[in-house]
Amino acid sequence: MKTLFLNTEYLMPFLLNQCGSLLYYLTLASTDLTLAVPICNSLAIIFTMIVGKALGEDIGGKRAVAGMVLTVIGISLCITSSVSKTQGQQSTL
């Protein structure tokens, strides 16, 4: 254990991962679950693919990029739907 925590090649990605997990739980605690869970899960896939590409991995070519674009479109639709629903509820109050 001591060797792992003194190795910066292990420690930096580990700390970055823990910060992401903390952000995930804070997001889940402060937002509507029907919106937060799909967004967090789909963004995790996108960030994994982006980091993989930055590290020189093969991410799958055009199909992977198309999947990321469709994921972002789906996230946008979820956010738009949630915002319009929230604004509709506020105007009736």
38-86 per-position pLDDT tens digit = 777 788 888 888 888 888 888 888 888 898 889 889 888 888 887 777 6
32 vs 88, residue with greater confidence: 32
Grade residue 13 by pLDDT with cuts at 50, 70 and 90: confident
**56 φψ region: left (φ > 0), alpha (ψ -120 to 50), beta (else):** left
Predicted pLDDT of residue 90: 61
CA distance linking residue 70 with residue 1, whole number of Å: 41
Predicted pLDDT of residue 92: 54
Mapping DSSP to helix (H, G, I), strand (E, B) and coil, where does residue 77 land? helix
25 contact partners, CB below 8 Å, separation of at least 6? none
- Rounded to a whole number of angstroms, the CA Rg of the chain reads 18
